[in-house]
Amino acid sequence: MFKPQNLITEPTEIRQAISQLTTYQQIWLDTEIADWRKPNPRLSLIQISTDTTDRTGNSVYILDVLDKSDLITEFIDRIMVNPNIEKVFHHAQFDLKYLGKEQAKNIICTLKLAKKITKSRLGTSNLKLKTLARELCNFENVHKEQQGSNWGQRPLSKKQLDYAKMDVVYLVSVHQCLLKFIASEQQNLEPYQANTRQNDSYNNLFNATQLRVAFDCPRLFYLNYCFHSNTLFPSGNAINGIGTIFHKQAKEFINFAKTEPQIQTLFNLPAAQLERETIASQMRKLFYQAHFFPYLQTNIDRNQNKAPQLYQVWLGLTNLIKQWTKLLISNRNYYNAGELIERTFIKQEESLEHTFTLPDNSQQTLRGTFDCLVYHAARGRLCIIDYKTYDPIDPSSQLIQIAVYSYILWNKEKKISDCAVYCVSPKFKAYYYPWEQLEDTVHQLISHKLEEMTQWVNWEQGNPKPPPPTTSRNLCSICPQQEKCQTFFSN
């Protein structure tokens, strides 16, 4: 029976895939529906791409969810409702009928994007996904429609699965083409309304990353907000593309530590007798054998080129485990071995949201997701941790992002929390910021900065007072949008 690697049918594997997908900030999706002409159509497949470079569909997830309502609900709860993941569809209105309806947040529709470009400029025969893939993105041999296909049958044919995976490959390219198209319209000095350029994903809210970028450079923030332009500065020796894998593995490690009895027994002795290096090495070993090695094998079997990335992820995890060991030994002075891990690792990957009243009395919502919340018993404090898999160009801008989480947590739960940024790769560095420092500095700046951001996103080309350039001019020489910035703002 044909069973490509993309197709995921087992419920436990579908759950793993959903967990993995929660680590992405942007994904592209499509669905296939069984019995769609009948009174009770059923969701058959959910196809997801996370990779903008994949032209063959090898990395596409195809989740077989036919008659698996609990998994569909889990997908909706963890992905569709999650405001921190941007979900791109073509004709989103159709897919959303099966995936969360109006509950779904942060949705982009490429059909709507295409409609914003006049027909004469776009120049395609129609706005169907496959037409756009062929005529806008130069795909050849675009797979024919399979709408008459029986998506309720099992097993599905190779032809059906090829079709299913390629639809999201086309979608990624069409999305990128449309964004470039819109950007090039801008550069050709077509006056374009910033407000109409904002699509469904924005809904008058900002996220913590955008706030950080706005502190780095207002112009870079504007280009990212309006055109999704990349904001990542080059990061020295760090290997690119390990962020999402690292975040997932770091999360898995904490889940593993909470459920593996052998980890708990490592802390049976009193704190004074615990040796940090020995315990860190044992925790690493247990996690590697039970979890990371099987993960490594599966992924290298699929793609050998991933080996350097995964090695870098493991080095990062090694550093992180050392750091956790230090914290656990310190907390062992206050808790017995049985409660230690639960009392230390409080939460992971929690989304926070707060509506700020700005100095002009308008309101602005800000969202963000922190990586981990731990408790430092010796300090009697919570600490919000953000992982970075590179050494930031300017650590203070990382501080802005994480300070937002502590501010929102305080407003939401009246809990004081310090903050730390752990840069785990290529070398471990920890930046630690106590609550008092954040309260005196960053917290007071947030609403002012949000007010500026709302003014910047409403600026239009040709008007006076564009968003100002960065005040750290050394950033410009390494800025990923240097060229676009010069063309766009000089006009």
The residues of the shown chain that bind ligand SF4, judged by CB under 6 A, are 217, 219-220, 469-470, 475-476, 479, 481-482, 485
Burial 353-376 (b: 16+ CB within 10 A, else e): ebebebeeeeebebbbbbbbbbbb
Question: What does DSSP say about strands 26-34 and 61-64: parallel, antiparallel, or unpaired?
Answer: unpaired
Contact 99, 38 (CB under 8 A): no
Note the Cα 259 to chain centre separation in Å.
26
Contact 238, 308 (CB under 8 A): no
Distances (CA, A) of 366 to 76, 189, 387, 408: 22, 31, 20, 9
Return the number of the residue (187 or 482) whose C-beta is nearest ligand SF4: 482
Contact 310, 316 (CB under 8 A): no
Tokens representing 6 are: 């993309």
CA–CA dist 196, 193 (Å, integer): 5
Compute the least distance from the CB of residue 475 to ligand SF4, in Å: 4
Tokens representing 223 are: 């280009």
Compute the least distance from the CB of residue 196 to ligand SF4, in Å: 23
Q: How many CB atoms lie within 10 A of CB 210?
A: 22
Return the number of the residue (69 or 184) whose C-beta is nearest ligand SF4: 184
Instruction: Pinpoint the alpha helices (H) of 217-306.
Output: 218-227, 243-259, 261-265, 276-287, 293-302
Compute the least distance from the CB of residue 368 to ligand SF4, in Å: 22
Return the number of the residue (142 or 476) whose C-beta is nearest ligand SF4: 476
Return the number of the residue (143 or 219) whose C-beta is nearest ligand SF4: 219
Compute the least distance from the CB of residue 483 to ligand SF4, in Å: 8
CA–CA dist 98, 101 (Å, integer): 7
Return the number of the residue (147 or 187) whose C-beta is nearest ligand SF4: 187
Return the number of the residue (410 or 489) whose C-beta is nearest ligand SF4: 489
Return the number of the residue (299 or 487) whose C-beta is nearest ligand SF4: 487
Compute the least distance from the CB of residue 477 to ligand SF4, in Å: 8
Compute the least distance from the CB of residue 226 to ligand SF4, in Å: 12
Compute the least distance from the CB of residue 234 to ligand SF4, in Å: 13
